[in-house]
Structure 1
Amino acid sequence: MRTVRARALVVAAALAAGLVGAGTSHGVPGVGTAAPAAAPQAPALEAAGDCSEQTPAPSSSLTGRKVQEIKNRGANGTLVVGVDQNSYNWGFRNPQSGQLEGFDILLSRAIAKAVLGDANRVTFRTVTTAKRIEAIRNGTVDMVVRTMTINCERRKDIAFSAPYFSTGQRLVVPKSDKSTTVAEALKGKRACAAQQSSSETELKKPGYGTSSVTIVENQLDCLVLMQLGKVDGTLTDSSLAAAQAAQDPAVRLVDENIIPAKIGIGLKQEDTDLTALVNQILLDYRANGGWQAAYDRWLAPSMGANSAPYLP
């Protein structure tokens, strides 16, 4: 247990410079792979949430303003993607290689491959949960691929691709806590969530009866606080909750799954051509087996072999 805790503490403390050059594309599923002859037709991609705004229809065009801007960066130019480096299995830094790995990292490389012809032509900028929208709006990144829930409030500031993952909210608690519902587990307890996350919004609603709510920069910080005995439960996306449980065998997920939601890629509102291209890439990624291969590699061990519940 001491080793597991130390690893989590090291990861949480590893908020590095935030700029990571392109790495190797070895083992990137679905990148540069021809679709199988009998590939199933991918379902139509639609915007998620109750908003009236719709994501642009998928398009394979490379002639749009933003796409051309990216392609004209020269032979050494890259696609700049905002990612996480603290979400195990999604976007995390491998302590042995120092490279970023995970489901979202593979998806980012697949997008770079489609736009620039090379999965290595991507620069990862690590961004905190609270800084995702700011990074998109000020042009620090071309897009954010970081387990970002699509919702109406965020659509006021940024655009979203079609969803690429279905999720919800799950509560992580110590295994000694036998609660079966979120409300039961939080009553009179100290809760934790990431700043400007859907979980923070949920915990601000009345009815949970928490004794306190701690807000941190990244959801992994909540796991560290739980290990230190400073909070009693962490509310986060179900995908990230499963990753926390995979990191620390002393915690578990409360059975109840609340607030069904979908994860999408965040982009600038005016970059409609890039959003349309990304939507086409997401369709192709599903059809050529890239999505399933990435799920099997990174998520199946903690979320189960059946990926059907998580397909958007």
Structure 2
Amino acid sequence: MKNFIKVGSIFAIALGITLSMGGRTFADQHKNQVLNRIENKDKMVWGTKADTSLMGLMNIKTGQVEGFDVDVAKEITRRINPKAKPEFVQVTSGTRIPLLINGNIDAIIATMSITPERAKTVDFSNPYFKAGQSLMVKKSSEIKNINDVNNKSVTVLGVQGSTSVEVIKKRAPQARVLALADYATALSALKAGQGDVLTTDSGILAGMAKDDSSLKLVGGNFTHEPYGIAVKKDNPKLVKQVNQAIQAMQADGTYAKLMKKWFSGVPGMNWKEMAKL
């Protein structure tokens, strides 16, 4: 009887070890799947915006998405796997995370701010763009920074439901805030004189200012909301390689060249300062 109990105990221990090892093997198999896919297929599929000037915008002549995000993605792909070709899938703010989780894309580079809430669902790289809330005015405006906005005579334009509207109410409580349906409507209102300043993410404002010589950015960023590259969780090796690529781009001057290429012509934007991550 004692021998039976002893044999049974040994069997139970052995079974436990086997199951434990099997569990670890199963978990290991599900780690770094995205990087393995990139290496096996020699391509990296990126989710990018196609409606944001300077960052990711569809060129109707070529049918290709162009912008800072796209160029950064191409560089990172090359540095991760020289044989891999970058491919781009158009995403919106609402579709980008579901597409990533479902495996339709390998990474997101789409004006995506790093936030604690999003980090519960995806893993982020180190910042690749020094974004934050900023201000855009007409070139004739005397507004120079956020302090000038905190005045009862100033009307600030924003977009309904955006965090920028709530932030500006706190940072400039004396100003009148007018939240409109979308950025196109807010931009039209600014140009028509229905507001004194438009506030939102600096990356979005840069595209607007670049396309309209009557506008300029002022005051720099008054919040810190940098963009990051998002990847599916349980892919630490890919995150590490993306971070290494970003660091290498800064070290060899590639990052500064891309900043100059896309943002040197934006009135009121200091691209050299923006290039210092």
Fold agreement, TM-score > 0.5: yes
Equivalent AA in structure 1 for residue 227 of structure 2:
I
Equivalent AA in structure 1 for residue 37 of structure 2:
E
Q: Which of 249-258 and 160-169 deviates more?
A: 249-258
Instruction: Answer whether contact 2:129 2:274 (CA < 8 A) is retained.
Output: no
Q: Which has the higher contact order (CA 8 A, sep 6+)?
A: 1
Alignment of 1:153 with 2:117, yes or no, is yes
Residues matched between the structures, number = 243
Equivalent AA in structure 2 for residue 152 of structure 1:
P
Cα distance, 1:284 vs structure 2: 2.1
Alignment of 1:273 with 2:237, yes or no, is yes
- Unpaired segments of 5 or more residues in structure 2? 1-30
**2:253 matched to which residue of 1?**
289
Instruction: Answer whether contact 1:148 1:263 (CA < 8 A) is retained.
Output: yes
**Distance in 1 between residues matched to 2:157 and 2:269, nearest whole Å:** 27
**Distance in 2 between residues matched to 1:171 and 1:282, nearest whole Å:** 27
- Unpaired segments of 5 or more residues in structure 1? 1-62
Alignment of 1:69 with 2:46, yes or no, is no
Equivalent AA in structure 1 for residue 158 of structure 2:
C
Alignment of 1:214 with 2:180, yes or no, is yes
Cα distance, 1:270 vs structure 2: 2.2
Cα distance, 1:208 vs structure 2: 5.8
CA distances 1:162-206 after superposition (whole Å, capped 9, x unpaired):
11222332112333543334465475635224866x535524658
Q: Secondary structure at the match of 1:167?
A: coil
Alignment of 1:85 with 2:50, yes or no, is yes
**2:8 matched to which residue of 1?**
none
**1:247 matched to which residue of 2?**
211
Equivalent AA in structure 2 for residue 104 of structure 1:
D
**2:68 matched to which residue of 1?**
103
* Higher-helix-fraction structure: 2
**1:132 matched to which residue of 2?**
96
Equivalent AA in structure 1 for residue 48 of structure 2:
V
1:64 and 1:138, CA in 2 relative to 1: closer, same or farther beyond 3 A?
closer
Cα distance, 1:109 vs structure 2: 0.8
1:211 and 1:144, CA in 2 relative to 1: closer, same or farther beyond 3 A?
same
CA distances 1:73-93 after superposition (whole Å, capped 9, x unpaired):
x46xx3221112222222222
**Distance in 2 between residues matched to 1:124 and 1:194, nearest whole Å:** 29
Equivalent AA in structure 2 for residue 237 of structure 1:
D
Instruction: Answer whether contact 1:164 1:311 (CA < 8 A) is retained.
Output: no
**Distance in 1 between residues matched to 2:87 and 2:184, nearest whole Å:** 23
**1:13 matched to which residue of 2?**
none
**1:234 matched to which residue of 2?**
198
**1:57 matched to which residue of 2?**
none
The percentage of counterpart residues that share the same residue type is 27
1:153 and 1:293, CA in 2 relative to 1: closer, same or farther beyond 3 A?
same
Q: Which of 202-211 and 247-256 deviates more?
A: 202-211
CA distances 1:124-166 after superposition (whole Å, capped 9, x unpaired):
1222234433433343322111232222232222211011222
